[in-house]
């Protein structure tokens, strides 16, 4: 519930007083509060803080806005202190639940309190890790996409260096082209016709009669 602020009128602590901007209607201010989300967070935090007594909702929202502004400017000191306090609280929950589990005699109750204790311990560890990450952020290392078919890859601070076979020499590329017939254009072999029987049986002229002669012919060709 939002009302326009009146300096002379007393306000209730659980009523949020919306400070209107120049030429802003109460409806527009309420919609802006809904989009920002800070007012509902302030109301929720106030509802979970009854042990502190009666809190003024408007002042809680003002304090929450000031805290978020500090985080936006990079001042995380209060957030770090809050994480440290939460880690201490979670550790207290772990010890209390573990102590309660040790006094149980029914297996189901022992299992239930032990599981809750381990959950509190896990949350405490995660909170401490988050706090350590905020205090000492480590630089992330990114590797570019590489084609591993060209040999071993080595990643050095975001760069990728290929192995010794990153590229083929020009002579090897020419040999590959020649093997595929892209450089050697010799035309299509003609099929021997019936009138040219000598060409059709030329392979029989080089056929050796025995293995000794075949070996001599192979050496001569080499």
* Average pLDDT, rounded, for the chain: 76
Contacts of 194 (CB under 8 A, 6+ apart): none
Strands (E), the chain: 2-4, 16-18, 154-156, 159-161
Instruction: Clarify whether residues 60 and 37 are in a common domain.
Output: yes
Evaluate whether residue 170 is within a structural domain. no
Total domains present in the chain: 2
Instruction: Clarify whether residues 57 and 92 are in a common domain.
Output: no
Instruction: Clarify whether residues 106 and 61 are in a common domain.
Output: no
Instruction: Clarify whether residues 67 and 88 are in a common domain.
Output: no
Instruction: Clarify whether residues 71 and 83 are in a common domain.
Output: no
- Which residue range(s) make up the domain with 101? 76-144+153-162
Beta bridge partners of 12: none
CA gap 14, 54 in Å, rounded = 8
Instruction: Clarify whether residues 54 and 114 are in a common domain.
Output: no
CA gap 218, 212 in Å, rounded = 10
pLDDT score, position 160: 47
CA gap 3, 20 in Å, rounded = 9
CA neighbor of 41 nearest in space, from 19, 21, 54, 60:
60
Q: Which residue has the tokens 């302030």?
A: 42
Which of 44-48, 124-128, 201-205 is the least confident region? 201-205
Assign 90 a pLDDT band (cuts: 50, 70, 90): very high
Evaluate whether residue 222 is within a structural domain. no
pTM listed for this prediction: 0.54
Instruction: Clarify whether residues 44 and 119 are in a common domain.
Output: no
Which structure tokens are listed for 25?
Answer: 């209607």
The secondary structure of the chain in percent helix, strand, coil, rounded to multiples of 5, reads 55, 5, 35
CA gap 51, 49 in Å, rounded = 5
Total residue count of the chain as it appears in this document? 222
Domain end point (choices 136, 162, 188): 162
Instruction: Clarify whether residues 67 and 2 are in a common domain.
Output: yes
Which DSSP state fits 61?
H
Domain end point (choices 58, 75, 92): 75
**Percent over 70 (pLDDT), the chain:** 57
Q: Is the pLDDT of residue 214 over 80?
A: no
Q: Element (H or E) spanning 2, and its range?
A: strand 2-4
Evaluate whether residue 19 is within a structural domain. yes
Domain end point (choices 75, 110, 132): 75
Q: Which residue has the tokens 């350590």?
A: 132
Instruction: Clarify whether residues 54 and 80 are in a common domain.
Output: no
Q: Is the pLDDT of residue 205 over 70?
A: no
């Amino acid at each position: 519930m939002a009302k326009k602020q009146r300096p002379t009128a007393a306000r209730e602590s659980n009523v949020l007083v919306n400070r209107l901007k120049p030429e802003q209607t109460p409806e527009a201010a309420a919609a802006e509060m809904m989009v920002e989300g800070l007012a509902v967070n302030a109301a929720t935090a106030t509802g979970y803080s009854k042990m502190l007594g009666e809190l003024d909702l408007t002042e809680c929202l003002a304090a929450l806005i000031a805290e978020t502004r500090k985080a936006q400017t990079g001042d995380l000191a209060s957030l770090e202190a809050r994480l440290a306090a939460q880690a201490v609280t979670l550790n207290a929950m772990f010890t209390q639940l573990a102590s309660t589990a040790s006094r149980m005699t029914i297996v189901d109750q022992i299992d239930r309190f032990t599981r809750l204790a381990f959950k509190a311990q896990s949350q405490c560890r995660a909170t401490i890790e988050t706090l350590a990450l905020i205090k000492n952020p480590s630089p992330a290392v990114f590797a570019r996409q590489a084609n591993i078919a060209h040999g071993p890859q080595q990643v050095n601070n975001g760069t990728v260096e290929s192995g010794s076979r990153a590229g083929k020499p020009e002579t090897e590329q020419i040999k590959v082209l020649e093997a595929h017939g892209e450089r050697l254009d010799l035309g299509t072999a003609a099929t021997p016709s019936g009138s040219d029987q000598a060409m059709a049986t030329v392979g029989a002229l080089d056929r050796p009669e025995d293995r000794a002669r075949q070996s001599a012919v192979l050496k001569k060709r080499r």
